[in-house]
């Protein structure tokens, strides 16, 4: 939250907006158009709205312009250039895949009840410095002098441990049918068979083939060292 407040102060309140998931789902263009910074506090959702929220976020980070239905005005078309910042205490805040290149996920290293007191002390000191020692001006000056000559906005952001943890934490819901079928030894698994092709299982159960091998590894399966020229015949 401190990072969010800091950035909003530097960019100016008219360039920023703080919203919740219901605002994002509403589809109003007012909250997106002509903004540099969109922050969503405590993002987390479950069930069918989860997929819709993920779709909206993907669209906002992909499209260059949108035709917005303005709550307090007419439809307008405008460029979309806002950065999205989402905070959450949940490891399953968003369903993301390993190949999703846009999310930059990082985890604070001061979690836990044992850090609660020190967090409050540090937060108070930071606020005091920002307000009383021209902290905002000093940070803005540092940003303006930062060398961006080697920065490419189209490159992948750092692939962090926190992102991998979120991928792993949300993978179970996407592959639940695979995991349930495995434990129940129901179709397409059987009591008699011990060898399976992960990509083939993914096709049969219509799940994303990316990450399916990781599911099999988590189930205790071991890959064969060498498999060639295998054909499959599927019986009911």
Q: What is the per-residue pLDDT across 96-134, written as a single tens digit (0 to 9) for each? A: 877 788 889 988 888 778 888 998 999 899 999 999 999
Which of 37-41, 123-127, 166-170, 216-220 has the lowest average pLDDT?
A: 166-170
At residue 45 the predicted structure's pLDDT band, cuts being 50, 70 and 90, is low
Which of 143-147, 169-173, 184-188 has the lowest average pLDDT?
A: 169-173
Average pLDDT over residues 85-101: 82
Per the DSSP assignment, residues forming a β-bridge with 76 are: 68
Contact 24, 70 (CB under 8 A): no
User: Which pair of structure tokens corresponds to residue 87?
Assistant: 């905070």
One-letter-per-residue 3-state SS of the chain: CHHHHHHHHHHCHHHEEEECHHHHHHCEHHHCCCCCEEEECCCCCCCHHHHHHHHHHHHHCCCCEEEEECCCCCCEEEECCCEEEECCCCCCCCCCCCCCCCCCCCCCCCCCHHHHHHHHHHHHHHHHHHHHCCHHHHHHHHHHCCCCCCCCCCCCCCCCHHHHHHHHHHHHHHCHHHHHHHHHCCCCCCCCCCCCCHHHHHHHCCCCCCCHHHHHHHCCCCCCCCCCCCCCCCCC
In this model, does residue 236 exceed pLDDT 60? Answer: no
> Which pLDDT belongs to residue 47?
59
In whole numbers, what is the pLDDT of the chain averaged over residues? 83
Give the integer Cα–Cα distance in Å for 73 and 30: 9
Tens-place pLDDT, residues 29-44: 777 888 899 998 877 7
Average pLDDT over residues 56-63: 80
At residue 230 the predicted structure's pLDDT band, cuts being 50, 70 and 90, is low
In this model, does residue 90 exceed pLDDT 90? Answer: no
Contact 211, 171 (CB under 8 A): yes
> Which pLDDT belongs to residue 133?
94
Average pLDDT over residues 130-151: 94
């Amino acid at each position: 939250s401190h990072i969010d407040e800091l950035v909003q102060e530097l960019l100016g309140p008219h360039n920023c907006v703080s919203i919740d998931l219901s605002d994002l789902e509403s589809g109003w263009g007012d909250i997106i158009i002509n903004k540099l910074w969109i922050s969503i506090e405590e993002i987390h959702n479950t069930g069918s709205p989860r997929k819709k929220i993920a779709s909206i976020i993907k669209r906002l980070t992909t499209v260059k312009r949108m035709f917005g239905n303005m709550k307090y005005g007419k439809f307008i078309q405008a460029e979309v250039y806002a950065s999205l910042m989402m905070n959450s205490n949940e490891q399953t805040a968003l369903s993301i895949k390993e190949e999703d290149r846009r999310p930059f996920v990082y985890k604070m290293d001061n979690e836990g009840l044992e850090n609660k007191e020190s967090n409050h002390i540090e937060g108070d000191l930071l606020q005091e410095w920002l307000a009383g020692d021209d902290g905002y001006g000093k940070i803005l000056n540092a940003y303006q002098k930062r060398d961006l000559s080697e920065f490419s906005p189209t490159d992948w952001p750092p692939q962090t441990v926190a992102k991998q943890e979120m991928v792993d934490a949300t993978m179970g819901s996407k592959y639940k049918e695979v995991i349930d079928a495995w434990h129940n030894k129901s179709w397409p698994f059987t009591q008699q068979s011990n060898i399976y092709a992960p990509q083939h299982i993914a096709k049969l159960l219509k799940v994303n083939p990316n990450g399916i091998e990781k599911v099999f590894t988590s189930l205790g399966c071991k890959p064969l060292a060498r498999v060639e020229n295998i054909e499959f015949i599927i019986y009911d």
